[in-house]
Structure 1
Amino acid sequence: MKITIVAGARPNFMKISPIIRAIENLSTSNKPISYRLIHTGQHYDPNLSDTFFEELQIPHPHKNFNIKSGSQAEQTAGIMIAFEKELVENRPDFVMVVGDVTSTMSCAIAAKKANISLIHIEAGIRSGDITMPEEINRMVTDSITDYFFTTSEIANQNLIRSGHLKENIFFVGNVMIDTLLQNINRIKKPAFWDDLNLAPKKYYLLTLHRPSNVDEAGSFIELLNDISAHAGDVPIVFPVHPRTQQILQETRNEFPNYHFVKPQGYLNFIYLLKNSNAILTDSGGITEEASILNIPCITFRNSTERPETCSLGTNMLVGNDKIKISEAFQKLKNLKWPNSKTIPLWDGMASDRIISILLKIHYA
């Protein structure tokens, strides 16, 4: 069985790591598995790409397209052209795409145009917000996928309502949590920890990168000011995504309780998350990790494609609603944040389930 695995952006790297490990562990002489790893180069900052390969012990990719920056259309076209050529030269039995980034959709389209069976890891999740580029990527990818591997029963139902066959949908759990649990004992204190006099549970961790939050300078600065006012004297550690760096450089506003740091590698970031008083974010994946680590999570979005992080985890959606933001900080300060409950199959074994199922499909 030959699988071409696609990674293009930071969330992808965390998802492919345990899958590659499962392939290496489950391949046998009777049922051999080989894989070819493709890095599209969608994320090209070393802190968002190279570091993750090293820290998560992912083999160097067999091919890196080095697509780099550009508009959505430019990235999509560049990735599709490069991946089409790759599939002609190295045709697999399956193409595996993960998550919902531009690379996911682009390579899914190229694979199906080449009549190659398509696997989507983390299929079926929906935010209901069509203004999010990721939502479009999910919908397009799932519309042409052959084998769906899901993180929740809710995702299963989303796919079934879209007309997909139950026998091609497999609820296996969450590969992001596989990576978290496999590496939790390897996390590392960032170099700036002592310089900033940080202490466990004595700071907030902030990440913001969604266009709706950071692309308009005025509303972005207003949100930072709101967070700062509620945080009071508690430091806020903010690893600055490249998307937000330019706006911060352009503003003259001063934020005395913020510590702006460079994007962090996986092991450093999880250390910061695990030891924070709370995570303040607009990310989807981080809400999953926070829920498993039982860290309070305030999410600056009005919807989520991961509703189980709200119903069973530690996630609370506040959008940019000042009242909801204030209420969330009050819960934190009054120590009334709900504890996380068990989320079904988020147990570190999702990748093994995926590869076991693919072996049965291919060698049936």
Structure 2
Amino acid sequence: MSFLKSSHLLLALCVGVTVCSGSQTIVTMKSGECLIGEVMAKSNETTLVLDSALLGEIRLPKAGILKQESYVTDEAVQAEKSDSQTGQVVKKAGTDRELPLSEEEDAHLQEESLVDKMLNLQTPDSWNGNLRFGLDFSSGDSKWKQLYTRGSLVVDPKASRNYYRYTGSYTYRTTERNGETVKSTDRYDANFTYRRDVADSIFLQNSVGGRVDEIKGINHEVQELVGVGLRVKPVEKMEFIIGGGGGVEDYDPDFEDTRSGVNPVANVFQELTWRPFEKATLAQEFNYFINPDDDAQYNYVFSASFRYRLTDLLGFEISYDQNFDNDVGNGNVRDDSRWRNAIIVYF
């Protein structure tokens, strides 16, 4: 009868192994019994106090204990894995030994981590930018197709007097004349503008820009300008900017000409931005450049566009721009006007 009671007690202790959850301690007695529970702080040098989920609080003489091992259930192992990024180790049930993740498991965790980071990637609140992509065609005596991309990034921190703008564009044009020749040309430019408010509506401006235009025969033009501008808001959601300045330019045309080299340059700039409703923007810009030492050497860029934001990510643009150079070298005049359509990607 006593043997039957002992068997029932041993069966209950073994069941305790399977029903407990979380990280526990396995205590193996010299008599062969195995108990699982949490070691209590009230244990002392002679007695181990174990809190068992099945049997409650048990006091065990340390002299009768064969060994103690930490025990981690499958649920706890999975929790450890889900909290890990790389280089994880897991404990095998019934042992203190830690096993490193396999290369396949580690690579999978890194891949999941990278995907999560990409999906949660956000630009700072002070950033406002977009990329525009378009393809245009022309027919008639001069047939061409033109692929272009333009980008703009504005960094305008709140409660700061500083303003930064980065812009750039690239155009690739293929031209066919009289059905005989095909000529491919590139045009690209980049510009950085820094403004610092000195009053509520007045700012100082420094800009650095350059362009290469194979269509017009300009090998390169680089300008460094400083100036001052005025910012006003005639109506709600409309901003008007006008200003001027001067600096130097390094100009190299595809012609033999005295204009080549470093020359002074004066500049007038004007910008208008109006948001008539939440998703629509009308933008217009004008930049005029002239050599003070030779008023025949001037050029200007005029642009106007309408943009509509379809979603947080996508929109479209219809734009017109005129790029006029009165003297690109040897008195040659170049005038380029374009209507363009583009898909916009916002970030």
Task: Please indicate the TM-score interval, normalised by the length of the shorter structure.
Answer: under 0.3
Larger Rg: 2
TM-score (norm 2): 0.19
Q: Which has the higher contact order (CA 8 A, sep 6+)?
A: 1
Indicate the structure with greater strand content: 2
Indicate the structure with greater helix content: 1
TM-score (norm 1): 0.18
